[in-house]
Structure formats: C-alpha cells, structure tokens
Amino acid sequence: MGWTISHGGTLHGYSYSGVADLRDHIKKQASWSQRRTLKPILDRRSGDPFSLAPRDAKQVGDALMALAGQLPVTRGDDWPAMARKIGRSALLAAYANEPWEWS
C-alpha cells in the first residue's frame, strides 16, 4: 500500500514508509517557516487521504522545491528527486487551479 498523489506526484505510487522517510529528511533540513508551510504533509498519518486548495499547494510545492537540493541521497534513495517530483505535482495542481489530492 502507498500514497497516490495527484498531478503526477506519484506515477506509480510511493509507499507510506517511503513518504514517512522523506518527511523525516525534510524535517531535519527545513527552517521553522518551511516546516510550518509543509505542515499539511508533514503531519499526516499514513493512509489518511487529504487534499489542499490550489493556493496551499503552491506554497507547499515552492517549499519542497527549495528544500530538495538540501536533502541527502542515501543508498539507492534519491530524496531530492522524490521531493522535486512531489513538489512539481503540487505546483501543477496550483497552476491548474485544482485541489492537490493525496489518497
């Protein structure tokens, strides 16, 4: 089981544990302001579907794109690429003026 993120955020889906690991890396690198912006995705439990309004999706997408370069690449896990992919999907939802959905 895993997340399906709209607007291309997960072409094949991410596991709940993979997203949880990404969140842990983000929390370590993010400023207080970035953590506040990313709260809608940092504080989710695995499997609890949610959606963000386009304006909120843009803020989250911008924050993820800004943080991506600070995330580590570890033994086969490319956290920057994952953050960018999810961030781009948030921005696509925002630019389309559509809700960004996680299910």
Question: For residue range 36-80, what is the model confidence (pLDDT) as tens digits?
Answer: 999 988 887 777 899 999 999 999 999 999 999 999 888 778 899
pLDDT score recorded for residue 59: 97
pTM metric for this prediction:
0.91
Range of the domain at 49: 2-102
Cβ(91)–Cβ(62) below 8 Å: yes
How far apart, in whole angstroms, are the C-alpha atoms of residue 94 and residue 35? 19
| Lowest-pLDDT choice from 18-27, 70-79, 92-101 | 70-79
pLDDT score recorded for residue 12: 65
How many independent structural domains does the chain possess?
A: 1
The band of 32, judged by pLDDT with boundaries at 50, 70 and 90, is very high
Rounded mean pLDDT of 6-30?
87
Rounded to the nearest 10 degrees, the angle between the axes of helix 16-29 and helix 79-95 is 90
Res 94 pLDDT > 70: yes
